[in-house]
Amino acid sequence: MTKDTKIGGASGKFPATRWSAILAARSNAPAERSRALDAIVTAYWKPLYKYLRLRWGKSNEDAKDLTQEFLARLIEKRYLDDFDPAKARLRTFLRVCLDRFVANEAKAAKRLKRGGPAPHFSLDFETAEAELASAMPSLPPAASLQALDDFLEKEFIRSLFARTVETLREACATRGKQLHFQVFEAYDLIDEEHGHPAYADLARKFGLTTADVTNYLASARREFRAIALVKLREMTASNAEFQREARALF
């Protein structure tokens, strides 16, 4: 996707402060905690699953089980109560927690017979596995903590953008702007190795003028950026952290 350094749109301003899933996950209100944890699980389950496959060499089935179990522990043991955004990014904190969890896998297996059923998440592991298989030839060996953090960062961004694309698709469909999304998809969501199509070609394909193509792309990109920033805001615990992450993202 073409990068744009103007965070939040033409004005360059950040969006107003929004609900933070990280802070809400510490709430004692069950509904608020549940909503927050659902957002965090949605954002991070796939990067964590791929990390287990890459870093720990776990099989597909073992990685599935470990991902489910780790997320259950994350919720039950309230790991996020110990997260300090001043010391580390959330993905680094989760990596450290996951590494400790896997290192104690044998002990954890013995503790599975705890009271009450463990939470089970409906996760699309098949898609995650297909993405990992496709990317595997280009992945460097994860030999250092920095390499592992870089891998998680890229996977988090991939997950964030994928969720943003789906939200944009749904928003355009709801407002009868499917053509806006189709133009955006045809230009910005293609494999960049094959190059972007010319605006004139898109105009002929969709029965538009080149001016329409320009306007549709600009509109979709603004909305994409706004949606991505809202989702990013949920995953940050302070305005300073949000601004730092947003600048790196765009």
Matching residue, tokens 């993202």: 249
Distance in angstroms (rounded) separating the CA atoms of residues 106 and 3: 45
Q: How far apart are CA 15 and CA 18, in angstroms?
A: 8
First to last CA, the chain: 10
Q: Which among 78, 89, 99 has a CA at the least distance from the CA of 26?
A: 78
Out of 10-14, 167-171, 240-244, pick the least confident. 10-14
Mean pLDDT across 3-32: 59
3-state DSSP assignment of residue 134: helix
**Measured CA distances, 15 to 48, 161, 242 (Å):** 28, 18, 10
- Give how far Cα 96 sits from Cα of 5, 154, 160, 224, 234, Å: 31, 17, 21, 31, 21
Residue 138 is predicted with a pLDDT of 61
| Contacts of residue 72, Cβ cutoff 8 Å, sequence gap at least 6 | 118, 119, 120
Beta-carbon contacts of residue 9 (< 8 Å; ≥ 6 apart)? 222, 225, 226
Which tens digits make up the pLDDT trace of 119-173? 667 788 888 888 888 776 566 565 566 777 788 888 899 999 999 999 999 999 9
Work out the percent of the chain whose per-residue pLDDT is above 90.
44
Which has more confidence, 86 or 143? 86
Query: How many degrees, rounded to 5, is the angle at CA 74 between CA 56 and CA 156?
Result: 60
Task: Judge whether 93 and 47 are in contact, CB under 8 Å.
Answer: no
Contact 52, 63 (CB under 8 A): yes
pTM here is 0.77
The total number of residues written for the chain in this structure: 250
Higher-confidence position of 95 and 23: 95
* Average pLDDT for 6-15: 37
